[in-house]
Structure 1
């Protein structure tokens, strides 16, 4: 049986080399290539026969960053599984990557064992998001019935979809012609209904139930 092929896209050579060494210790996995940025990654993809089973993608890179690279993947190879591996833990960055189709998002300071689980989960289950990123949202989603979305009121659904965009809560309030206080109320109601603790959790729920297009 062939090993799962992994591509690494990261401009930090020392970190990338450490990652290559770490992956080489895992059974069933093999690093196919390393690219310093998205442009190099695209060149590699266009000139090789074997497509990686998984891409480990950094966010902040020169020439072509992770968001631009993810947009290219969404357009040209949407089935390709991508695990974002970054020091950037900003909510807006995570949401952008999710909307572009990333299957997972982990921070670079995670333990090697957790990193291995993230790789395995993305390849076998389709998704992985650390507790630090999601507040255990995936476990909650998996245990809840799909009918949860049917219990959302029309305005709650409207708020949920807007929460999955790059708009701030203030901008969402303006879009819905509501006060910021009322929007805070919608947020707290959905947090309770969907059993999530963050805006990222709302986005994951919406993606999981195909309430938004990614």
Structure 2
């Protein structure tokens, strides 16, 4: 079995935190490093702990520091972490601004299991091919995931 992906997740909804924690544990291919209520809390954990995640999933709308602001800061400070968005918003403009902030893809909150499966396979493909150019080209082909 491949090594587990180290995951950090930020969402102000406690139910969503519990669902993602449960699914990550159940699926067996994630190690949940950090589960946070907002971006400010996530940044604090990253700054005060040695272990860094492979992947961060960020909710768009959170108090104190939303997903877009968090993504911009993470992109600058931790460029090796792959960032993904997670939102209940159906607004194409919000999704575009979220993507512009630095997340690779934006997933619907309606399909957390599909999201985790897609992120896992996306990340493994990129690692196996070890090419930034491949990752940029792959994003164009994975836009359908936004519809999940």
Normalising to structure 2: TM-score of the pair?
0.80
Distance 1:12 1:59 in 2: 11
Residue 118 of structure 2 aligns to a residue whose secondary structure is: helix
Query: Kindly tell me: are residues 131 and 2 of structure 1, through their superposed partners in 2, closer, same or farther at Cα, counting changes over 3 Å?
Result: closer
Tell me which residue corresponds to 2:90: 89
1:106 aligns with 2:107: yes
Alignment of 1:19-168 (within 5 A): 19-110=20-111, 112=113, 114-126=114-126, 127=139, 129=142, 131=144, 133=146
Tell me how far apart the structure 2 counterparts of residues 121 and 37 of structure 1 sit (CA, whole Å). Answer: 26
SS of the residue corresponding to residue 61 of structure 2 reads coil
Provide the C-alpha distance between the structure 1 equivalents of 2:66 and 2:112, rounded to a whole number of angstroms: 25
CA distance in 2, matches of 1:129, 1:94: 15
**Structure 2, gaps ≥5 residues long:** 127-138
Whole-Å Cα distance in 1 between the matches of residues 48 and 3 of structure 2?
20
Counterpart-to-counterpart distance in 1, 2:27 and 2:14: 20
**1:130 Cα offset (Å):** 5.6
Residue 16 of structure 1: aligned partner: 17
2:130 equivalent in structure 1: none
Secondary structure in structure 1 of the residue aligned to 2:56:
strand
Whether the 8 Å contact between 1:83 and 1:122 is mirrored in structure 2 is no
Contact 1:81 1:122 survives alignment (8 Å): no
* Count of residues paired in the alignment: 134
Q: Which has the higher strand share?
A: 2
For the aligned residues, what is the CA RMSD?
A: 2.2
DSSP 3-state at the match of 1:51: coil
Distance in 1 separating the partners of 2:97 and 2:33:
27
RCO (CA 8 Å, sep 6+): is it higher in 1 or 2?
2
